[in-house]
Every structure is written in structure tokens, then in C-alpha cells.
Amino acid sequence: MDTNKPVPKDENEWQQNLTAEQYAVLRQKGTEPPFTGQYIHKEKDGTYHCVACGNSLFASDAQFDSGTGWPSFDKALPGGVKELPDNAHGMRRTEVVCARCGSHPVS
């Protein structure tokens, strides 16, 4: 998969191609409730991909239990994600998005 090639979709197309929950999380920066996602616990070896565009994001061996209730990874695959500054809610954080389509990589 060419991670350097952006996905040419507008928000209307994303909304048509994703479920309502996927769209809210992936494109509108929503979050699923903690400890409810299907990927919270590593069950097998492999690669995590962006639900929206299929880009390879993380190897399963990079997953760790952060205690937050959401999947956490200590490193991304090359070209998998972009890190963006996030100063929401009065905190300095780093937002991670898919390098190919800009989606929040959780669903």
C-alpha cells in the first residue's frame, strides 16, 4: 500500500463508506467508551490497519496495556501514522492519525 498517496475522499464519501460509529471515531475525533473496544487486548500476532483506508499502522508486538481502556502502542510502523499537537482540554498531548487518510486510528 502506498502510504505516500493520500486518499481522495471528501467527508460525504467517508460518511457513506463508514458506519455511524466508525465515522464519529475516525473522522470526527470521537472516542468509544474505555474498555469496550474489540482491540483493547492483544489476542494474536499481526498488523493493525486503518479501518478507513487499510493503511498499516502498528505491529501487534508494539501494543501494551496503558491502563486507559484504549489500545496503546509504543511505536508505529514506518509511514503508518502522523503525530499532531493536541492542546485540547488544557493539556499538551499528541494526537495520532493515519498518515494516509488522516483518520483517528481507533474503531
Chain segment 27-48, per-residue pLDDT in tens: 998 888 899 888 887 778 899 9
Query: Any idea what the CATH number is for the domain that residue 35 is in?
Result: 2.170.150.20
Domain membership of residue 1 (yes or no) is no
105 pLDDT higher than 90? no
Q: For residues 101 and 50, is the Cβ–Cβ distance under 8 A?
A: yes
Domain membership of residue 24 (yes or no) is yes
Range of the domain at 44: 11-98
pLDDT at 107: 40
pLDDT at 94: 87
Count of the separate structural domains present in the chain: 1
14 pLDDT higher than 60? yes
Q: Let me know the angle formed at the C-alpha of 9 by 38 and 80, rounded to the nearest 5 degrees.
A: 50
Domain membership of residue 105 (yes or no) is no
Domain membership of residue 106 (yes or no) is no
> What are the Cα distances from residue 88, in Å, to 8, 69, 81?
28, 20, 20
Task: Give the integer Cα–Cα distance in Å for 93 and 69.
Answer: 17
More confident residue, 78 or 5: 78
Task: Give the integer Cα–Cα distance in Å for 31 and 66.
Answer: 16
pLDDT at 32: 83
Global pTM reads 0.83
88 pLDDT higher than 80? yes
Domain membership of residue 6 (yes or no) is no
